Amino acid sequence: MSFKLLGVGSPLVDYSLTVSDEFLEHHVPGGKGCTRNITDSEKEAILRDAGKVFCRTPGGSAANTIRIFAALGGHAALFGKSGDDDDGEFFRDALKKCGADTTAVIPDGNFSTGYCLSLITPDAERTMLSNLGASVQVEIGDLEYIDIRSFDFILMEGYLSGEKWFDRLIGDARRNGCRIALDLNNYELVAKYRDRFLKTLDSGIDLLFANSQEISQLFPDKKMTEIIALLRKRIPVTVLKLGRDGALIITGKEVISIDAEKNIEVKDTTGAGDFFAAGFLYGLSKNAPMEICGRAGTLCAAAIISELGTSLTEEKANKLKNIIQKEVTQ
């Protein structure tokens, strides 16, 4: 039986730019590593003042995961809303090139395609300045673009947890036997809407993706050992991403430590967590053991952090595909 994954998220275009710490401090005072909203004029001012050529790549957390999942050979689609503009066409073409279904990426002529300006400092840390544009114009009626019965797994962006249709889609997925994954995405968002996220988790999430900052904001009064014990009771599978320290896969039965890839020249950490999720979900789609799913995740993350932006060359994508397909079928 064919496994099909639906990503639910914001179709964005990433503009990646390397800057100095001094430049960042001047344009985003005290905000290194943060996520902030900006206007089009602020974006243009930053690009003008930097005086450098930027790298444009398709972005958005769920979209990144869907692209690489499809590039690995998986069946995947994305649901979201883009502008009916050049960035929107660029975004949809990138997904199609990887083999993803874009039928439910809805073009909206009244808004521009959302974007994220990623400012990357010499330590490879990224500061993300966003304008969500058309991506936040999704309405409950747009769910008609999705036949949830045709999907085995749905990956929800935590960024969208406050949208009116978010719980409705989770409910539709659960009623139709579709498993649900949630990526917390952003520690500031988790801190602000902690109760909302806890409610979503307790509603029946099958798989949770989070990093150490996000999970600590979800359970702010707990030590990590206590958090892990809570997760083992509340969620079937949690993937706790630890950056250079690899990851932990937490289930009711065990906690599995996954080592990060070694000797990687880190150029840009943008999309690392999204690519990890893609590898992990691809392993799940092949019924691979948890250790192998984690291994696939680290391979995908390692591939993207050695690049600027969130796209792999065709040669590198094919090499990664061959390695991971061999890993998950052993």
pLDDT given for residue 1 in this prediction: 44
pLDDT in tens, 227-251: 999 999 999 999 999 988 999 999 9
Q: Do 154 and 62 meet the contact criterion of CB atoms below 8 Å apart? A: no
Q: Do 70 and 321 meet the contact criterion of CB atoms below 8 Å apart? A: no
Question: Strand order in 126-133's β-sheet?
Answer: 35-37, 126-133, 113-120, 12-18, 55-59
Range 4-10+60-110+137-328: architecture per CATH: 3-Layer(aba) Sandwich (3.40)
pLDDT given for residue 286 in this prediction: 94
Domain coordinates of the chain in residue numbers? 4-10+60-110+137-328
* Torsion over CA: 281, 191, 118, 211 (sign): negative
Provide, rounded to the nearest whole percent, the portion of the chain with pLDDT above 70. 99
pTM: 0.89
pLDDT given for residue 152 in this prediction: 96
- Tokens representing 179 are 């498993």
- Tokens representing 317 are 């994508």
pLDDT given for residue 96 in this prediction: 96
Q: What stretches in the chain show pLDDT beneath 70?
A: 1
Q: What is the largest CA-CA distance in the chain?
A: 54
